[in-house]
């Protein structure tokens, strides 16, 4: 029978709570990103800009909470911004 320390059990409980918290945060971020992408696909510039603002905020909060790394969030924000700016740009 292996010896299981109290600290091991506690860290397992903590890890589970963190996993659930991170999963909820990332799920919300993904939903907001999909809203931006669908607005861009439908060529709705105003909706895309408001959705981008919400997604940017959510990505920043995810970094603050430790659910995402800063460079990952920055890359995603950059790519979303490029898509949204492409709607109002002069490119055809």
* pLDDT value at residue 92: 46
Q: What is the mean pLDDT of residues 59-88?
A: 96
Please report, for residues 6, 23, 41, 44, the alpha-carbon distance to residue 61 in angstroms, rounded to integers and kept in the order given. Answer: 33, 14, 26, 26
Domains of the chain listed by start with CATH number:
7-88 (1.20.58.110)
- How many angstroms separate the CA atoms of 40 and 87, rounded? 7
Number of Cβ within a 10 Å radius of residue 13? 10
Using one digit for the tens of pLDDT, what is the confidence trace for 2-58?
A: 788 999 999 999 999 999 999 999 999 999 999 999 999 999 999 999 999 999 999
Model confidence, pTM: 0.85
């Amino acid at each position: 029978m292996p010896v299981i320390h109290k600290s091991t059990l506690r860290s397992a409980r903590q890890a589970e709570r963190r996993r659930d918290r991170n999963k909820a945060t990332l799920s919300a971020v993904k939903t907001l990103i999909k809203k931006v992408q669908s607005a861009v696909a439908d060529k709705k510039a105003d909706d895309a800009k408001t959705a981008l603002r919400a997604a940017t905020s959510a990505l920043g909060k995810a970094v603050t909470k430790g659910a995402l790394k800063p460079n990952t969030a920055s890359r995603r924000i950059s790519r979303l911004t490029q898509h949204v700016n492409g709607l109002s740009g002069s490119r055809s």
